[in-house]
Amino acid sequence: MERTTLTAIEKAAKEIRKQILKIALERGGCYLAQACSSAEIVATLYMEVMNLGPSQGAWRPAPFPGVPGPGNMDYQKGSLYNGLPAPDRDRFFVSCCHYASVIYSALAATGRICPDCMDKFNVDGWNMEMIGAEHSPGFENTAGSLGQTVSIAAGTAHARKLRGESGRVFCLLGDGELQEGQTWECVQAASYYQLENFIIVVDANGQQVEGAIEHQMVLEPLPARFAAFGAECVTCDGHAPEEIIAAANTAHPGKPLVILCRTRGTTGIPPLEKRWPYLHFVRISEAERAEYQAVYDAM
Amino acid sequence: MEMVINCHENNMLRFAAEHPEVLVLSADLGTSCEVKQFRSRFPDRYLTMGIAEQNMCSWAAGLCREGFRPFLHTFAVFLYRRILDQVEMSVAYPNLPVVFVGFVPGITTPGGVSHQSINDVAVMRSVPNMAVFDIGDATEIECVLDLAYAYNGPVYIRMLRKEVPRLFPADQPMEFNRARTLSRGTDLLLLSSSICTEEAMRATAALRQRGVSIQHMHVSTLKPFTDPALLQAAQEVRYGVITIENHLKIGGLGSAMADLMAEHGVQKRMVKIGLDGYAHGASKLYLMKKYGLDATNIIQAAESLLGASTGITEADLTAARFEDFLEV
């Protein structure tokens, strides 16, 4: 791995965090911890791991194009920002769509949408919604109901395998979402159909809405669980791009690959440690503003 | 009456041969849903998804996004009650042409309450972008896959299986969003769907003999529900409208017709015949009689609207067709 590539990824990750902290400061809150845990993962996927074509999406955010229906199927799909589909290109599905701000910021950091796109983030009537859907930049589908996107991505991978395409299908998940039974229905089916073109990337930040995962439900040992369902699972430090890249290069003949990225939702913004593990949506009070502003100014 | 055996089984083979992008997805009930031959004829196009309907639904969305045309086969009840969120968010919102082929609708199964899809029409009609077909005979089985294929969006089909009567001529195909007029008249309008049409035909024959002028229409497109012939018929009859369906009284054929009449200010009385609640496991004929989905109940409804007795007794009705107890 070229050191320059790693440096560029780290820079982009930093930019993603900075963008979302900016939003949190301007508007009093955001899904900030998700940016902290996934910034390196998303930047690494976009900049090194995935083989995506150049963005075909509009340079600037656009008004909400309407709900899909018989008379509205030609609206601008969010997936255009990941390039046009082609047999040898990869595809990217985001299941943890509360990470929408992370995806938009990653698109901006990698030149796929204008740098100031976050000005339209969560603004009424625009396509940069707080929780992404088909039309939101970077999104293939409507993922707000957890557990479904992994199956949609696997179905896409299955279709591509049936057609003999060489491109892969990536799906980004959170770890709390792994409590959904459908996830495991999907992994067993992806194993049955030997979808070696299917790669699940988990941002295992150990937190969910009500707190630490271990205080809500038994999830671990995740590597053994994925293996038992027939997938190849490799664990890495989700804040180390070189480890994510190495994990993505793991051989997994005849099996789907799961890249389990161990992360922390406070990385890069130390004051967040004080509220771990209650980090699903971070509000910044007036009393805390100066502390977070100082972090922002130092970025 | 001509009985057709495994009509869907054969039609699915014909249909799939014409459309190479068609896939069948099964949740371990393919052999009960007349796709056993499909599996041996097109093994690469038959995807076993295990007993895991949620994943099957979202997986189908992924296949569909890539240009395949998935036809999900399992019991109707598992395609709406169990997986509604997947139906809505994975398939209906993006308006993907996934076809849900739901078997043993309503009380056509002795499998009891867990197997009986009594409110599927109500639920699926409420899902935006979704079209809903309720199959009534062999001729409709032979048509519905092509209609579903031509529809620009997701489709839910209440399918019949095994021995199915041919009520309508094979050369008069089912039409999208068009009711089929089986009897013309000006006193009463009778709308029927699914297995209830055969009962409605028995009742209509007896009523006509007693001089009641009855307009009987079979409805198989339950959404959209905009056939102008239905509205016109409701406007033209003197005494009112009867609906009979293999479904709860709420949200199905009767509710759709009531909406249509109210929206157009058709001030006629209406009697809805259908289920009032959950049923239980028993033979189809037993359940139809027990819950009043039969010709006798239609006669009573007609007398109520006419305000007069017709004098028709059980003996005046043609014998109900015996159907053997089918497997679950």
C-alpha separations of B269 from B257, B258, B294 in Å: 12, 10, 20
In this predicted structure, the answer to whether residue A1 has a pLDDT above a threshold of 90 is no
pLDDT tier for residue B1 given thresholds of 50, 70 and 90: confident
Do A148 and B86 make contact, defined as CB atoms within 8 angstroms? Answer: yes
Residues B149-162: tens digit of each pLDDT? 999 999 999 999 99
Do A68 and B61 make contact, defined as CB atoms within 8 angstroms? Answer: no
Residues from chain A that touch B59, judged by Cβ atoms under 8 A, are: 151-152, 154-155, 158, 186, 189
In this predicted structure, the answer to whether residue B324 has a pLDDT above a threshold of 70 is no
Residues A46-74: tens digit of each pLDDT? 999 999 999 999 999 999 999 999 999 99
Q: Is residue B321 part of a domain?
A: no
Q: Is residue B326 part of a domain?
A: no
My answer on whether B192 and B289 are in the same domain is: yes
Cα Rg of chain B (Å, integer)? 19
My answer on whether B72 and B213 are in the same domain is: no
User: Which DSSP letter does residue B91 get?
Assistant: I
DSSP H/E element including B9: helix B7-18
Q: Cα–chain-centroid distance for residue A83?
A: 17
User: Which DSSP letter does residue B126 get?
Assistant: T
Question: Closest partner residue to B94 among A142, A158, A182, by Cβ?
Answer: A142
Q: What is the ipTM of this complex?
A: 0.95
Using the Cβ of B65 and the Cβ atoms of chain A, whether some distance falls under 8 Å is answered with yes
Q: Is residue B171 part of a domain?
A: no
- B97-112 burial by CB neighbour count: b if 16+ within 10 A, else e? bbbbbbbbbbbbbbbe
My answer on whether B13 and B159 are in the same domain is: yes
Specify whether the CB–CB gap between A37 and A238 falls below 8 A: yes
Q: How much is the pLDDT for B162?
A: 93
In this predicted structure, the answer to whether residue B16 has a pLDDT above a threshold of 90 is yes
Handedness of CA B295, B299, B300, B301 (dihedral sign): positive
Q: Which residues contact B171 (CB under 8 A, 6 or more apart)?
A: none
Stretch B114-133: mean pLDDT: 98
My answer on whether B95 and B244 are in the same domain is: no
Residue A237 corresponds to which tokens in the numbers above? 């430090």
CATH number at residue B70: 3.40.50.970
My answer on whether B20 and B150 are in the same domain is: yes
**Which residues, in sequence order, are bridge partners of residue A158?**
none
Q: How much is the pLDDT for A165?
A: 98
Residues A198-222: tens digit of each pLDDT? 999 999 999 999 999 999 999 999 9
Stretch A158-183: mean pLDDT: 98
Using the Cβ of A82 and the Cβ atoms of chain B, whether some distance falls under 8 Å is answered with no
Using the Cβ of A7 and the Cβ atoms of chain B, whether some distance falls under 8 Å is answered with no
pLDDT tier for residue A132 given thresholds of 50, 70 and 90: confident
Q: How much is the pLDDT for A4?
A: 82
The total number of structural domains in chain A stands at 1
- Taking the C-alpha atoms of residue B11 and residue A23, their distance in angstroms, rounded to an integer, is 57
CATH number at residue B262: 3.40.50.920
Residue B216 corresponds to which tokens in the numbers above? 């009987």
Using the Cβ of A191 and the Cβ atoms of chain B, whether some distance falls under 8 Å is answered with no
Query: Residue B251 corresponds to which amino acid?
Result: G
- Taking the C-alpha atoms of residue B276 and residue B248, their distance in angstroms, rounded to an integer, is 6
Coil vs helix vs strand at A241: helix
CATH number at residue A13: 3.40.50.970
Stretch A140-149: mean pLDDT: 96
Residue B160 corresponds to which tokens in the numbers above? 């019949």
Stretch A136-143: mean pLDDT: 97
Look at the block and give the residue holding tokens 């007036």.
A286
Specify whether the CB–CB gap between A229 and A188 falls below 8 A: yes
Q: Is residue B173 part of a domain?
A: no
User: Which DSSP letter does residue B117 get?
Assistant: B
CA distance B56 to chain A (A): 8
- Taking the C-alpha atoms of residue B134 and residue B113, their distance in angstroms, rounded to an integer, is 20
Domain span at residue A116 reads: 3-298
Do B49 and A155 make contact, defined as CB atoms within 8 angstroms? Answer: no
Phi, psi values for residue B308, rounded to 5°: -155, 155
Q: How much is the pLDDT for B322?
A: 64
Phi, psi values for residue B59, rounded to 5°: -60, -45
CA distance A253 to chain B (A): 21
Q: What is the mean pLDDT of chain A?
A: 96
My answer on whether B288 and B218 are in the same domain is: yes
Query: Residue A49 corresponds to which amino acid?
Result: V
My answer on whether B13 and B148 are in the same domain is: yes
Query: Residue A192 corresponds to which amino acid?
Result: Y
Phi, psi values for residue B98, rounded to 5°: -90, 140
My answer on whether B122 and B245 are in the same domain is: no
In this predicted structure, the answer to whether residue B4 has a pLDDT above a threshold of 70 is yes
My answer on whether B51 and B92 are in the same domain is: yes
Phi, psi values for residue B156, rounded to 5°: -115, 125
Find the farthest-apart pair of alpha carbons in chain B and give their distance in angstroms, rounded: 61
Using the Cβ of B226 and the Cβ atoms of chain A, whether some distance falls under 8 Å is answered with no
CA distance A153 to chain B (A): 6
The gap between the terminal CA atoms of chain B, to the nearest Å, is 25
Pairing of strands A29-30, B3-5: unpaired
Stretch A175-204: mean pLDDT: 98
Q: Is residue B187 part of a domain?
A: yes
CA distance A189 to chain B (A): 7
Q: Cα–chain-centroid distance for residue B113?
A: 18
Domain span at residue B61 reads: 7-165
In this predicted structure, the answer to whether residue B15 has a pLDDT above a threshold of 90 is yes
Of B111, B130, B165, which one is at a domain's C-terminal end? B165
- Using a 10 angstrom Cβ sphere, with 0-12 exposed, 13-18 middle and 19 or more buried, the burial of residue B277 is exposed
Stretch A128-133: mean pLDDT: 92
Q: How many CA atoms lie within 13 A of A128 on its CB side?
A: 24
Percentage of residues in chain B having pLDDT higher than 70: 97
Q: Is residue B246 part of a domain?
A: yes
Residues from chain A that touch B60, judged by Cβ atoms under 8 A, are: 155
Do A152 and B49 make contact, defined as CB atoms within 8 angstroms? Answer: no
pLDDT tier for residue A21 given thresholds of 50, 70 and 90: very high
Nearest to A178 by CA among A215, A226, A128, A123: A226
My answer on whether B276 and B189 are in the same domain is: yes
Specify whether the CB–CB gap between B112 and B281 falls below 8 A: yes
In this predicted structure, the answer to whether residue A197 has a pLDDT above a threshold of 90 is yes
Using the Cβ of B128 and the Cβ atoms of chain A, whether some distance falls under 8 Å is answered with yes
The total number of structural domains in chain B stands at 2
Q: How much is the pLDDT for B93?
A: 98
In this predicted structure, the answer to whether residue B266 has a pLDDT above a threshold of 70 is yes
Stretch B255-263: mean pLDDT: 98
Percentage of residues in chain B having pLDDT higher than 90: 95
Length of chain B measured in residues: 328
In this predicted structure, the answer to whether residue B325 has a pLDDT above a threshold of 70 is no
Q: Which residues contact A84 (CB under 8 A, 6 or more apart)?
A: A53, A56
Query: Residue B230 corresponds to which amino acid?
Result: L
Q: Is residue B1 part of a domain?
A: no
My answer on whether B213 and B154 are in the same domain is: no
Residues from chain B that touch A182, judged by Cβ atoms under 8 A, are: 52, 54-55, 58, 86
Q: Which residues contact B209 (CB under 8 A, 6 or more apart)?
A: B316
Stretch A96-110: mean pLDDT: 96
Q: Quick one: three-class SS letters along A245-291?
A: HHHHCCCCCCCCEEEEEECCCCCCCHHHHHHCCCCCCEECCHHHHHH
